[in-house]
Amino acid sequence: MSDTPNVVTGDFEALTVEPPAADESQPSTTEERRREIHDIWVAGTEEPSWVRQATDEGSQEMLVAGADQAIAIQEGIVVSDDYVLEDDSAADERQVLNMGPQHPSTHGVLRLHLELEGETIRRVKPIIGYLHTGMEKTAETLTYLQGGTNVTRMDYLSPFHVELVFSLAVEQLLGVEIPPRGQAIRLLLTELNRVSSHLIWLATQGMDIGAISMMLYGFRERELCLAFFEKVTGLRMNHNFIRPGGVAADLPDGWEDDVEVLLEKIPVGIGEYEELLTENPIFLDRTVGVGVITPEECKAYGVTGPPARAAGLAWDLRKVFPYCGIEQYEFDVPVGRHGDVYDRYLVRMEEMRQSLRIVRQLLETMPAGDYRSDDRKITPPPRKRIDESMEALIHHFKLFTEGFKVPAGETYRSIESPRGELGVYLVADGRSRPWRLHVRAPSFNHVQALPVMMTDTLIADCVATLASMDPVLGDVDR
């Protein structure tokens, strides 16, 4: 022992723990104890020493009503521990916990069926379908022009991406090319959408593990993005702005100034959040080494996007299968190493910066020209032409009543959405409605892979893992 005096008592002897000496006054039977406790509570006599020893908090109601076992546990004679199980009682000791579909941390109407042993999750079964509205069936009844209004509601946090992948698939079968300005506008909107979607993720991830203020901060910066979207498309969400053949309209006057403001304010916000979280000991405790998934598991389960990159797979569809001319712009793909929640956080934070870097380049090099294809069989004629040309009027009428026809064929097209690989499998039969439209939703795979990450981990980490996968239930259930 060193010579430093004890700060509390100044006395080393007080710290030594000795077994309680046998007390003559201690009652021997439970019945006597009950009577004595009754006296203490009802008659107000001074409590004897053994009651104070029983628990730190003093005597409790349980001692009055409890059986021998409960009293023994209170006194510390019998150790009660959920982890210690008899060999044959494991199945009986499992507790089934139903989480959701109305749980605030499930990011929608996801339901998790958790089997617990003590605080350890032994089995997870995600149960989905609470938001299923048959959108793929609906898509078969809508023309290609109307289809955008349907698909944009699937992943409601990144509507531009779903519109874009749907348009790209249709354009592949049509064989049309989009003018550079149309492609640049598409990229501008999708990359800003990536930022706004990641901000929602940051807000909810923070809130789910106790950093409530992140919820307010994340929504604050996202609001700037949504205000810009509203200015461009007229709507904050579900825009139906990216359409087969290009985009619905040109960018509004003064859009450069608005984007400039975004580029100025959002990085400041991101920097503040990194300052709050990146080295925060509580945040580190809750995220490092939690919800780990390996690269092999990512491949087998089809996990893509930030969770796969955090696991160390350098795979970004913007680099591998570029779309809309994104290969002309410089950006880096952040890759993690450990595949845990913390690496997913680092990857997403850097992705936001990289997306803003693309937006900066788009702002500086926005090409002039038309914002949509001039193929009048696909895109409506300019309003002016309708007054002058009979043909334009016919085209306009045919487009909005019957829709354009897409040659028979089938294709699979995918892009990098904020959540991962977002794909569309489209079968056309030569008419103006798709024969089959299947959306390969990244969230669907991520929800499916939850058991891989959650099995044999603590229930306290369940919410952190779930939030880090960033599932959107509209995307899962469609």
Partner 1 sequence: MTEHDHPAAGPPAPDGAGPVDAVLSELMVLFPEASLERFEPVAGPVQDIVHVAPADYLDLVTAARNAGFDTFVDLCAVDYLRRDPRFEVVVVLGSMELRRRLRIRVGIGGSPPAIPTITWVFPGANFYEREAFDLYGISFDDHPDLTRILLPDDWVGHPMRKDASVGSVPVQFKGAPEAP
Q: How far apart are CA 211 and CA 207, in angstroms?
A: 5
In whole angstroms, the minimum distance from the beta carbon of 7 to partner 1 comes to 56
By CB under 8 A, what part of segment 306-335 binds partner 1? 313, 315, 320-321, 323
**Does position 175 bind partner 1 by CB under 8 A?**
yes
Helix then strand count (H, E) for the chain reads 22, 8
* CB-based contacts of 40, cutoff 8 Å, min separation 6: 46, 47, 51, 59
**Does position 412 bind partner 1 by CB under 8 A?**
yes
Q: How far apart are CA 145 and CA 402, in angstroms?
A: 10
Member of 143, 167, 287, 445 binding partner 1 (CB under 8 A): 445
Q: Which residues are paired to 112 by β-bridges?
A: 99, 126
**Does position 191 bind partner 1 by CB under 8 A?**
no
Tokens, residue 421: 């690989």
Stretch that binds partner 1, among 50-58, 228-236, 293-301, 456-464 (CB under 8 A): 293-301
Q: Under a CB-based contact definition with an 8 Å cutoff, are residues 15 and 6 in contact? A: yes
3 DSSP 8-state letter: S
By CB under 8 A, what part of segment 351-390 binds partner 1? none
* Best CA proximity match to 424, nearest among 414, 432, 434: 414
**Does position 177 bind partner 1 by CB under 8 A?**
yes
**Does position 350 bind partner 1 by CB under 8 A?**
no
Cβ burial of 86 (10 Å; 0-12, 13-18, 19+) is exposed
In whole angstroms, the minimum distance from the beta carbon of 221 to partner 1 comes to 33
In whole angstroms, the minimum distance from the beta carbon of 105 to partner 1 comes to 21
251 residue type, one letter? L
**Does position 139 bind partner 1 by CB under 8 A?**
no
In 317-470, where do the E strands start and end? 409-417, 420-428, 434-440
Q: What share of the chain is helix, strand, coil (3-state, %, to 5)?
A: 50, 10, 40
In whole angstroms, the minimum distance from the beta carbon of 128 to partner 1 comes to 6
**Does position 427 bind partner 1 by CB under 8 A?**
yes
In whole angstroms, the minimum distance from the beta carbon of 300 to partner 1 comes to 5
φ/ψ (deg, to 5) at 368: -85, 175
In whole angstroms, the minimum distance from the beta carbon of 17 to partner 1 comes to 52
Site string for partner 1, 89-128 (x = CB under 8 A): ---------------------------------------x
**Does position 448 bind partner 1 by CB under 8 A?**
yes
In whole angstroms, the minimum distance from the beta carbon of 425 to partner 1 comes to 6
In whole angstroms, the minimum distance from the beta carbon of 87 to partner 1 comes to 27
Q: Under a CB-based contact definition with an 8 Å cutoff, are residues 209 and 220 in contact? A: no
Q: How far apart are CA 93 and CA 83, in angstroms?
A: 10
Nearer to partner 1, 177 or 264 (CB): 177
- The separation between the first and the last C-alpha atoms of the chain, rounded to the nearest angstrom, is 67
Cβ burial of 15 (10 Å; 0-12, 13-18, 19+) is exposed
82 DSSP 8-state letter: T
Nearer to partner 1, 303 or 310 (CB): 303
In whole angstroms, the minimum distance from the beta carbon of 178 to partner 1 comes to 8
Member of 75, 136, 258, 375 binding partner 1 (CB under 8 A): 136
**Does position 277 bind partner 1 by CB under 8 A?**
no
Q: Which residues are paired to 269 by β-bridges?
A: none
Stretch that binds partner 1, among 8-16, 143-151, 241-249, 435-443 (CB under 8 A): 435-443
341 residue type, one letter? V
The residues of the shown chain that bind partner 1, judged by CB under 8 A, are: 128-129, 132, 134, 136-138, 141, 168, 171-173, 175-177, 299-303, 313, 315, 320-321, 323, 408-414, 421, 423, 425, 427, 429-430, 435-436, 438, 440, 444-445, 447-449, 477-478
